[in-house]
Amino acid sequence: MTFRFITVPLKKPISRKEKPDAKFKRTPSVEKKIEKKRALCILRIESICKAFEKGSKYKDISWQTEEGREKLVKDAIDAVNLYENEVATTLFGYPVFATEYYYSWGSSLLDNGDVFLDDFRYDLQCMYFNVAAILMNMAEYLLCWQMTPYNASKLEKESYRFLLQAAGYFSLLQEMAHDVKSYCVGTTELKRSEDLQEEILEFLRLVALAQAQEIGATKAVENEVSGGKSMVAKLLNQVVQFYKKAIGIAQGSITSSKNEFLHILAFSQLKADVFEALTFSYAASSIFDNNPSEGLWFLSQSDIYAKVVVNHRDQARKKKKSIPFRGEDLIQNCCDVVQKNCERCTRINSLVHRAKPAEGPLTLPPAYELAHMKEVKLPAKFPHQVTQPAPTPSPEGTQEQN
């Protein structure tokens, strides 16, 4: 199967401004120490961001090996964790630090992304959002641009890990968003950045898991896993469930006029339709030999969904638009799989079984969830999380749990 994944635009630091009446500036050594760690975070994140945006000439030798890429990601995560730990430590000694600065980060994903807030957590949320985005984009870079028949297996495993990590960071950000709602810091009465709300974070978490599940389903097809085509259908069914749940959240709770988000949403809908067609196709293959009538019904459904998939391409051509994230290849691959299976089963039925399709609807093989996010947590708690019960304590953390 062809891999086509989304990319998530990173948030970009606009400025950090000290308040005119700030008291924390009376301790310059502490201020300098924490600013140094913050600057390191931004430097490491921006260097990766530039490499994604500018292409190969900004990708040094570190990008060419799994060890190098793992180190790039780890260095960025370590820098953010070190900064978060320094912030937490500083707050215990200097509580005024919590509201001494206005932070602002630019966002191209959702509306209302560029705001100034005097809450230290906003700065950290933006950094951890970028960590999650980097992990998502690294998987897209590897499987959609670098994969060959010779390195496919290694890159699939590497990307699978990145996506499960990304899902974990989006979950961590949801916990941080809940903490922001539960405990007020600062005096700025502005609406929070839309891309740090729990709904968009859950949407992105589900998309990350869906893409990881895609990798697992592809491996099952290639390796002819135990359970055969029935297991493949179960794995594909879970891909559909992830995408449908994500789409439901987006359509019910997220409003944005930004093309970056609209492209991700449209592509998620395409992916849901593609994998629904493939699920019915593999279900037909797994059932046909033992029950030709039921197999033919599933086959007819795969053909119906394949037409829905083709409609995405037809509508795009009418509007003179391209499918985002090079989705044309995904559409063609889906149609080829469904058509080939329809021809095979129809030919066998005409020669051997001569059965008629069963009356539907029939039930698909139950979804099997292979992709489970890597749980993550903040390396250090903040004073308000120690002096009062945390609203929704997370069992795991930003450091991977085995």
Whole-prediction pTM value? 0.93
Q: What is the mean pLDDT of residues 70-80?
A: 97
Q: Which residues contact 247 (CB under 8 A, 6 or more apart)?
A: 265, 268, 269, 272
pLDDT at 40 over 70: yes
Which range, of 7-21, 134-148, 304-318, 380-394, averages the lowest pLDDT? 380-394
Between CA 172 and CA 192 the distance in angstroms is 17
Q: What is the mean pLDDT of residues 360-366?
A: 95
**pLDDT band (50, 70, 90) for residue 248:** very high
Q: Which residues contact 284 (CB under 8 A, 6 or more apart)?
A: 295, 296, 298, 299, 301, 302, 341, 345
> Which one-letter DSSP state was computed for residue 197?
S
pLDDT at 32 over 60: yes
What is the predicted pLDDT for the residue at 233?
A: 96
Q: What is the mean pLDDT of residues 80-92?
A: 96
DSSP bridge partners of 102: 17
The mean pLDDT value of the chain amounts to 91
366 contacts 234 by C-beta, under 8 angstroms: yes
pLDDT at 396 over 50: no
| Of the candidates 103, 167, 156, the residue with the CA atom closest to the CA atom of residue 131 | 167
What is the predicted pLDDT for the residue at 399?
A: 52
| Of the candidates 335, 346, 268, the residue with the CA atom closest to the CA atom of residue 303 | 335
241 contacts 213 by C-beta, under 8 angstroms: no
What is the predicted pLDDT for the residue at 387?
A: 66
| Of the candidates 12, 376, 311, the residue with the CA atom closest to the CA atom of residue 166 | 376
What is the predicted pLDDT for the residue at 74?
A: 97
Q: What is the mean pLDDT of residues 8-16?
A: 91
Largest Cα–Cα distance of the chain, in whole Å?
88
Q: What is the mean pLDDT of residues 320-331?
A: 93
Can you say whether the dihedral through the CA atoms of 186, 192, 196, 202 is positive or negative?
positive
The two structure tokens encoding residue 362 = 């029939």
Q: Which residues contact 251 (CB under 8 A, 6 or more apart)?
A: 265
